[in-house]
Amino acid sequence: NRFVDLIATQLANASDNCSLILCEALGGIGGLEPHCLDPYIPEIIDKINKIAMSSSSHDKKTKVMLCTLIFQTIQPSDWDDNFQFAVDSVINNSDLWANYKIARSAARYGHYKVCSYIMAELKGKVSSEHLHFWLVALEQ
């Protein structure tokens, strides 16, 4: 746990390049040891709030990873408005591809309502009928 603490506490002040690497490390650890990231959800949400408006390429990837960490750590039954607000702040300030990756991550970790909400937003913004109906199927 000390190793996780060292990584998670560095997240708040890490540079663009380091933030993504730290998120990937936390995701790997969280995948191996359930609930080890529970105490660090406030740090993850703080980082989301800091970079939500950013459009740099590193921050785009980091925002997707931060949302993934939330989905990985929080059980769907424990989902509340604070988590939804954090994810919404990312979705509202990200491109469609990043939003699709966030939705896919939500589905992977059982957050089907969040996934459905994102897919519903995306389906009206695609350029072909084929993609529209594909997203409709994913939404359901």
pLDDT for res 70: 97
Residue type, position 109, single letter: Y
pTM above 0.95, yes or no: no
- Could you read off the pLDDT of 40-79 as tens digits, one per residue? 999 999 999 999 888 787 789 999 999 999 999 999 999 9
